[in-house]
A and B are shown apart, each in its own frame.
Chain A
Amino acid sequence: MTHPSDAGPAPVLALKDISKSFGAVRALRDVSLELFPGEVHALAGENGAGKSTLIKTLAGVHRPDAGQVLLDGAPTVFHGPADARDAGIAVIYQEPTLFPDLSIAENIFMGRQPRRALGRIDHKATRAATAALMKRLGVELDPERPARGLSIADQQIVEIAKALSFDARVLIMDEPTAALTGSEVARLFGVVRTLREQGSAVLFISHRLEEIFQICGRVTTLRDGALISSEPLEGMTEDDLVRRMVGRDLDELYPKQDVEAGEVALSVRRLTREGVFTDVSFEVRRGEIVGLAGLVGAGRTEVARSVFGVDRWDAGEVEVEGRRLTNGAPSTAMAAGLALVPEDRRAQGLVMDMSIERNIGLTGLRATVRAGLMDRGAERSRSLDWAVRLQVKYARIADTVSTLSGGNQQKVVLAKWLATGPKVLIVDEPTRGIDVGTKAEVHRLLSQLAADGVAVLMISSDLPEILGMADRVLVMHEGRLTAEIPRSEATEESVMAAATGRAAA
């Protein structure tokens, strides 16, 4: 890791005593930040700490109320994102938005393609320029390939290439790894190191602390809109960083209680969905937390969808507490006591335009009915009860869930399903994209549920989470279960070996 010394190069971009308020809310208070060429700088903080506002200030979306933006040491005012882009600042978002029907090259040079005579687009030059960018990043992507069907990781690479084509000197990466697999993260980090060596400044945001330590040289921490520290990472521990972010010592991140496993609650036998997963059999007992690990695309989510009934299976059977489930019928799975907290809370878990109350109420439409009509009082008290139990932070229960932070939205999804009193709970990426404090809360909740006799199946791409929370780890590779590893033998190495197909099945 490189550590620019104070006597070294001047910061390419700096914020000095920036303040920004929205109405009565002070999103940033006297925050300063210096980004040096050739460094990867972490921005840490819980949801709501002001990271997004800071990024948007750097990107020219927000104009600060007070303080200065310094570009190469000179005070600058960005009147909009275009100004920031022209100054060489690019933001890579978690989920890039490309034109799916255009090729990679066309996406990168959209609106400013090299021209030939008569204004015709010079496809050859566009291709060549794209190939050169890919070479510079050390990534093999065919410039001709349409953006449709590219993985999120590849889409990010395209965005980075696009940023380079604008001669970006500062790259801001907003949770780029949230949806990536382990190998994709490794490739992205390779690209980031290349950029660093070529003299770019990278501002890196991630909720995964180990990634910050892996790739970054310095870290700036925000809490409640204020600057807490800006310091080298060397010599710091994860606990040090968490303490700066949360402002206190965090209770254990993985508060796993030891519970005696009881009866089999979920039994999946020889489940197959053609071309997706094959011959998957496993059991989850009451009181157990079973981790389901594997690379993205291994078929974990698809198994959960079929078990719950959102997708049909082609062969096999599923039993919940001895009751055979009907193929492709979530309503009967729910009646049997199965709940699924899906992977994508915005698209699958919540109706974003509906209130907190009604989102939680959606799973209780049969329970909060009197004489065939909605019993609104019962619906409200059921929703309130669970929102309070899960400590959802909201202004009014009638507010739409879109007003909540990501962590609180996830709690609403959990509330919605816990309100059904499930015997078997499947959670798919339960802590993706939520801050470390909320993450610990979700873990405590899962542990408590297991202690209360619920059978929990936890799908996660977060390996420390799997290792920290699971009694047993099931591993999938290319649509098949390749390993079942007891807690005592589960290590990053043993799980990753099975996930990548290196272990004997």
Chain B
Amino acid sequence: MTPLPRDFWQGFRAGAPFILVIVPFGAVFGVVATEAGLNIAQVMGFSVLVIAGAAQFVALQMMVENAPVLIVLAAALAVNLRMAMYSAALAPHMGRVAWWKRGLVSYVMVDQVYAASTLAYEQRPEMTPAQKLAYFIGVAAPVVPLWYLATWAGAALGANIPAGLPIDFAVPITFLALIVPMLRSAAHVVAALVSIIGVLVFAFLPFNLGLLVAALLAMMAGAEVERQITRRRAP
């Protein structure tokens, strides 16, 4: 096989296992968003235009709580700030490919695609920017279409779920499944604890602003702990 299709299919194989995460996550979003009162066009609008599960759940939760539009946007975009970090991390690898290709990479930049691709780039530093691009799109190829499909299936199913079931709790369960693996260092644990304590301490603030204050403090705490640990390790 010529190099580029080969890189694409290698990426595809690396992305395939994520189907197991994407499908339940997308379906839960479809169900919960439909239960919250969104119509199917709005539910699909979220998954196609925003294409970021965690931020979609945050926006939905705050919409259910009747937060003002600007506060909903601020909280959901805060969740997606990490995408700017991914963008910065990918720039040395693909910063010089054609602008429309960078535009496409940006659209399919989700956690799993970013993580799997950068892992491959570290293991095979000899890859050219074109190969890296083919690999990245390859990882996204099984993930992104199934994200749409799973959301649609969840939305179609959501209307038939009987009332009284604790379906609201699908969101915390899905988030916990994402958060626990993030706690990979003392700094991450400290950030999570500051976030939890902060949101309780600042619960008196209106419009869910307490969440944003808590997140800001948690980011600073995590960054500071990491800085201290790195400094202590340095000779």
Decide if A and B are genuine partners.
Answer: no
**Interface positions of A (Cβ within 8 A of B):** none
**Interface positions of B (Cβ within 8 A of A):** none
